[in-house]
């Protein structure tokens, strides 16, 4: 008989569920169904919607859509280009963190770094600032934090270069944390070539040496975040950046566990305990996930995500989520989401 592993509800602080505005890619129902199917009972959604979440009324509108549609718990990050600082106090009441883009990515909401200082002063210290940085912006990102005691989280840290900068900053006492995505742990630039447009994301995939460095420095990486970034196949053909991940993150981590690269304790720490701590998210003893250890092959056609493809299609993984209980209620069982839209809580 195959064994069953019980985990606390996993938390993914970095997803793009595209609702409102781009519900051809994903929406708050399909995105949270995908979350449950992947063992995530809380997700935090990014602000780079078609109309970005940089005004309080947009945040409130998105929360209302979530109240009606979500089947998992969900929180929202706010955004800024430096021109909405007067809204921060109000916006922070309804958001988990503030996301700033220091490089070009989907939506094109790149911040002029001249605004960073004023943003850091105005955003409440108890709510984390999240940064999209890459090799060319990590130095200025860290320099901007010197002497401030401002907690900042570096998203989707992709490479040895960026991780070494973060290790240095931590050693200096700067309160910086970082997350890594499944694609930066499991794919390289060689895979990107094979995957073509489906291997394109920000930051781009790096070398095997980078990937090996990340695995050998897992203790320096605070959390695993999926950066679930669905786009339709046609949009990928037209050059969109990003890959879906919610349903494949945990199965891939179980594969890494079977290969001795990560322990179950580390998976729980980086996908539950630390994200809850760093982003001040509620956890609940009556929420848990059951994984059945029985090998299967990832098939894009079986996924809840609307985008209909996965860079991990065809990968064999050793286990699969078979049951999810959210606040005492069964919400996912034997491959099916059984929760009704509106079951999840909007957090923060």
* Site residues for ligand NCD per CB under 6 A: 16, 48, 105-106, 132, 201-202, 227, 229, 241-242
Q: Least distance (Å) from ligand NCD to the CB of residue 179?
A: 11
Q: Does residue 132 interact with Zn ion by CB under 5 A?
A: yes
Q: At what angle do helices 28-37 and 56-69 cross, to 10 degrees?
A: 60
The residue (of 113 and 258) whose beta carbon lies closer to Zn ion is 113
DSSP state of 182: H
Q: Least distance (Å) from ligand NCD to the CB of residue 214?
A: 17
| C-alpha distance from residue 249 to each of 22, 37, 134, 240, 252 (Å) | 23, 11, 22, 21, 5
The residue (of 202 and 327) whose beta carbon lies closer to ligand NCD is 202
The residue (of 38 and 244) whose beta carbon lies closer to ligand NCD is 244
Q: Least distance (Å) from ligand NCD to the CB of residue 333?
A: 31
Site for Zn ion in 95-114 (CB under 5 A): 105
Q: Least distance (Å) from ligand NCD to the CB of residue 54?
A: 15
Using an 8 Å Cβ cutoff, are 42 and 246 in contact? Answer: no
The stretch near Zn ion (CB under 5 A) out of 79-87, 142-150, 227-235, 246-254 is 227-235
Q: Least distance (Å) from ligand NCD to the CB of residue 238?
A: 13
The residue (of 70 and 200) whose beta carbon lies closer to ligand NCD is 200
Distance between CA 41 and CA 38 in Å, rounded? 9
The residue (of 105 and 343) whose beta carbon lies closer to ligand NCD is 105
Give residue 288's Cα distance to chain centre.
19
Nearest residue to 42 via CA among 85, 75, 69: 75
What's the token pair of residue 192?
């990107």
Give residue 220's Cα distance to chain centre.
18
């Amino acid at each position: 008989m195959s064994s069953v592993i019980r985990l606390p509800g996993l938390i993914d602080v970095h997803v793009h569920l595209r609702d409102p505005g781009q519900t051809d890619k994903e929406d708050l129902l399909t995105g949270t169904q995908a979350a449950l199917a992947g063992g995530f009972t809380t997700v935090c959604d990014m602000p780079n919607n078609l109309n970005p979440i940089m005004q309080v009324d947009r945040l409130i509108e998105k929360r209302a859509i979530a109240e009606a549609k979500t089947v998992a718990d969900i929180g929202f990050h706010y955004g800024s280009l430096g021109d909405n600082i007067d809204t921060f106090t109000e916006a922070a009441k309804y958001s988990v963190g503030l996301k700033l883009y220091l490089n070009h990515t989907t939506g094109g909401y790149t911040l002029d770094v001249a605004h960073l200082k004023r943003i850091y002063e105005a955003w409440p210290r108890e709510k984390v600032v999240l940064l999209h940085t890459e090799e060319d912006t990590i130095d200025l990102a860290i320099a901007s934090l010197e002497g401030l005691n401002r907690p900042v989280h570096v998203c989707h840290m992709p490479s040895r270069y960026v991780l070494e900068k973060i290790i240095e900053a931590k050693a200096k006492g700067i309160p910086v944390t970082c997350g890594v995505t499944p694609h930066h742990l499991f794919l390289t630039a060689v895979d990107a070539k094979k995957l073509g447009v489906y291997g394109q994301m920000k930051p781009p995939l790096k070398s095997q040496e980078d990937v090996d460095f990340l695995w050998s420095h897992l203790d320096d990486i605070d959390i695993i975040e999926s950066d679930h970034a669905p786009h339709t196949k046609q949009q990928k053909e037209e050059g969109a950046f990003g890959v879906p991940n919610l349903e494949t993150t945990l199965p891939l981590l179980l594969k890494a566990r079977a290969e001795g690269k990560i322990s179950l304790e580390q998976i729980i720490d980086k996908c539950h305990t630390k994200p809850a701590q760093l982003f001040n998210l509620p956890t609940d003893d009556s929420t848990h996930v059951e994984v059945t250890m029985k090998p299967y092959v990832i098939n894009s056609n079986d996924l809840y995500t609307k985008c209909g493809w996965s860079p991990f299609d065809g990968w064999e993984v050793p286990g699969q989520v078979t049951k999810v209980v959210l606040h005492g209620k069964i919400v996912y069982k034997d491959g099916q989401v059984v929760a009704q839209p509106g079951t999840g809580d909007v957090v923060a």
